[in-house]
Amino acid sequence: MGTIREYEKEDGSISYHAEVRLRGHPSQRESFRTRSLAKKWIQDTESAIRDGRHFKTAEAKRHTLGELIDRFILQWLPKHPKHQAKQTALLTWWKNRLGHLLLSDLTSSVIADGRDALLSETTKRKRLRTSSTVNRYLASLSKALSIAVKEWGWLDDSPMRKVSKPRETPGRERFLSLEEKDKLLDACKRSDNSFLFPLVSLSLLTAMRFGEIIKLEWEDIDFTHHTITLRETKNGDRRVIPLIDAVESLFKLCPTYTVNASGLIFKSKRQNNQSGFISVRKAFQNALQDAGIQNFRWHDLRHTAASYLAMNGATQGELMAILGHRSPHMTRRYAHYSQKHLEGLMQRTGKKILLATREEE
């Protein structure tokens, strides 16, 4: 409820002090030259509080979104160097669009307009941004606003809470049939890039990401305890996976392998300053063309490996451990590949139950 008090200043002029007090919210006060301005402020403030658009007036009116983003990039992002460059790029987009706004004027509708602009803009590749990409833009701003609320006291609450995220399309489920797999591996053996065959084979055997494989060093391979340690993964967690016999054989065939080998396992010709360099990515595209395989990406090798594991009876927990997924939702996409395994399990169980029943009779 709003109240207005009239005060006479020393020079004889009149000042109107307006106050808004709503249950569950801190009191808000402002001074105005006229009663009409005070009434309008009360109406606007009460409406903003009820709609969740009103923030701590003192700090929210002192700082712009641009200042918030600059401080977040300077103070917070250095704690997470792996994501620093990407997050800075995402936040810079918000700064260029909304950085001039005071935090008190940053509403959920303004952010929603930014979300819609992201969805309608084309990228450098002249394609519309995907919903998942737009959600990453929203997540970067949401994190910055949350820190401003929890640690800096610049906002009472984040306006991002009322902004809905665009629905993401289902993930790709492209994987190689056994025939396609054989054709691709044969094409990789014929490639001019000597690392292509072991890299593709490792992806199929371990479900590791391309970035995880090329960063492997010999110190990460424990031939005694049969483990591979991934120190740099997508989610930042350290992951250990089994070193099976087939993978061990691939490692020992690598040109960089020696008994006391050290450093990168897959050291490219470019890094060795050798001529005639052909990148792995280019060699992979050539191999796909040679094998007659279409609509396939390197990351689909990881999906292929996970699908093969699921078809051979891997549980969701086992898949999560091998793939390094934090959420079961990410692994659930492979559940339908294990239906034959489940059918076989139920068939065997059913036979045992019937057999036991007959013996009792």
Q: Which of 24, 62, 64, 61 is closest to 46 using CA atoms?
A: 24
Dist. CA 241–CA 355, nearest whole Å = 40
DSSP assigned state of 75: I
Q: Hey, CA dihedral for 296, 298, 303, 306, is it positive or negative? A: positive
Could you confirm whether 325 is annotated as catalytic? yes
Could you confirm whether 209 is annotated as catalytic? yes
Edge-to-edge strand list for the sheet holding 14-20:
2-8, 14-20, 28-32
Q: At what angle do helices 178-189 and 280-291 cross, to 10 degrees?
A: 120
Q: Of residues 150, 234, 238, 352, which has the active-site annotation?
A: 234
Could you confirm whether 63 is annotated as catalytic? no
Q: Of residues 16, 137, 308, 334, which has the active-site annotation?
A: 334
Could you confirm whether 257 is annotated as catalytic? no
Q: Of residues 82, 150, 299, 340, which has the active-site annotation?
A: 299
Dist. CA 128–CA 40, nearest whole Å = 42
Dist. CA 270–CA 214, nearest whole Å = 14
Q: Of residues 25, 97, 325, 341, which has the active-site annotation?
A: 325
- Cβ neighbors of 70 (< 8 A, separation 6 or more) are 95
Q: Of residues 302, 303, 308, 337, which has the active-site annotation?
A: 302
Q: Of residues 129, 183, 209, 239, which has the active-site annotation?
A: 209
Could you confirm whether 225 is annotated as catalytic? no
Give how far Cα 279 sits from Cα of 33, 208, 249, Å: 71, 19, 24
Q: What is the dihedral of CA 343, 347, 353, 357, to 10 degrees?
A: 140
Could you confirm whether 308 is annotated as catalytic? no
Enumerate the active-site residues. Answer: 209, 234, 299, 302, 325, 334
